[in-house]
Structures are given as C-alpha cells and as structure tokens.
Amino acid sequence: MNEQGCDASVLLDDTANFTGEQTARANANSLRGMDVIDTIKSQVENVCPATVSCADILAVAARDSVVALGGPSWSVVLGRRDSTTTTLSAANNNIPAPTLNLSGLISSFSNKGFTAKEMVALSGAHTIGQARCMTFRPRLYNEANIDASFATSLQANCPRSGGDSNLSPLDTVTPTSFDNNYFTNLLSQKGLLHSDQQLFSGGSTDSQVNAYNSNSASFFNDFASAMVKMGNLSPLTGTSGQIRLNCGKTN
C-alpha cells in the first residue's frame, strides 16, 4: 500500500542511503508483484517513452487485475506523477496493521478520508491475495471468534513456531476469484486476519458485512467507487514529482 497517496512511492527500492516503504511492517508481510509492474513499465516505455507514470500503471493494473478475476470495473483517471521520495516511518505509522481492532481500522481509514462503509468495501479486496503465517498466527491460536475447524485446517501450515513466511489465501473458499465470499467467510468466523474478523464481531460494521454477503452487486458497486476515491488520494500532478523511467528508482 502507498502511504503517501497514489504516487507510486511504494515502488521505490531501498538503497545504501535510502529506506523506503517496502519493508514497512504491513507491506513486508504481504506486498508482492513489483516485478509485474516493472515488466509493464518496460513495455510501456518501449512504445511511449517518459510519458506514463508508475503511479498510473499501478492504478490501471489494480483495476485490470480485479476485472481479470471476475470483479467490477471502474474508470481510472490518468495523469498522476511519481514521487521522488518516501519514508519507512510514515508507512509504518499510517498503513493499517492486521492486528488492528475495529475502532483502529475505522480511524485509520477516516484519517485518509474514507467512511466506515468504504473501509468495509475496500477490505473486500481480501477476497484475493495471500498472507504470511506470522500475520495470522495469533488469531489461529489465541482468539475465540474463529471457526474451530477452520483454525485447525490452517495450523498445519502455520505452526506455533516456525513457518513465518508460509502463505495462506485470505479467502480460502475462492482464493483466485474476485467475489463476495470474503464477507460470507466472516459470517462463519473464517476471517484469516484479526483485522478481517473485526468487521464482523458484534460491532458497528456487522450490518454492512451482512449486506455485502447478501448482495454481491452492491459490494461490487461500492468497491469500485471506493477504488476511484483511493486512486485520487493525494496524487502528484502538473510539475510536481516526475515520470520515473524505472519504477524502482528516481530519475
């Protein structure tokens, strides 16, 4: 996740005298696919040099990957420019952690201008993707609001010690389909992360989880709208920033 907004700051690689966002706690545990963006960028540069930013590529790739897996589409406004710097500390302080309780999740998204409803919709992105054992181990072994058979099925691949980097799908039912099963899983206490299950644990967002479980079209529509809003989060435009020629480093 980009801490600064939609400016591709997360793609900046660490160097001897610069530490970026990629090793931030939330990113190091889950963020993958930089090589895919690099491949897209190199192909775009071949046909349209120094014109399309890494930030725009990220925004379009996010949309197209959702569509490819059966999810909704949305219009991506283009014209973002790329940041020239970022900080690890800001990323650690601002990117929501998988250990957050509901109030922390609501506050974290609110700080970026998102409502609780939009936060629930965006959390539905966890219908795809994977998480490392170390991010959900405490939930498997210490929490009560988890389906017992679900927990047992995951413990073989995520023991009490060791296997920190072993992966599990965030949605174990349809891990490579963008659908509303994420919310169905929450109803049966099968959220993988602590922060996932917090959305349906007797709190203020229970009704929204129920709504998305029963109405996939509603979830798709709200997710698409929230992604448009996220794509417009603090973009660099005009003469701010730059068009990086290599997404991993500044020009």
Q: Does 129 appear as a known binding residue?
A: no
Q: Does 5 appear as a known binding residue?
A: yes
Rounded CA separation 184/172 (Å)? 11
Q: For residue 53, list its beta bridge partners.
A: none
Q: Does 118 appear as a known binding residue?
A: no
CA atoms within 13 A on the CB side of 20: 21
CB neighbours of 175 closer than 8 A, spacing ≥ 6? 128, 130, 169
Task: State the Cα angle at 29 between 18 and 186, rounded to 5°.
Answer: 145
SS3 88: helix
Q: Does 21 appear as a known binding residue?
A: yes
Residues 218, 244 contacting (CB under 8 angstroms): no
Q: Does 87 appear as a known binding residue?
A: no
Give the closest residue to 231 by CA, choosing from 38, 73, 17, 84. Answer: 73
Q: Does 174 appear as a known binding residue?
A: yes
Q: Does 82 appear as a known binding residue?
A: no
Q: Does 202 appear as a known binding residue?
A: no
- Residue 167: its H or E element: strand 167-169
Residues forming the annotated binding site? 5, 7, 9, 21, 96, 126-127, 171, 174, 179
Q: Indicate the annotated binding residues for substrate.
A: 96
Binding-site residue positions for Ca(2+): 5, 7, 9, 21, 127, 171, 174, 179
Known binding residues for heme b are 126
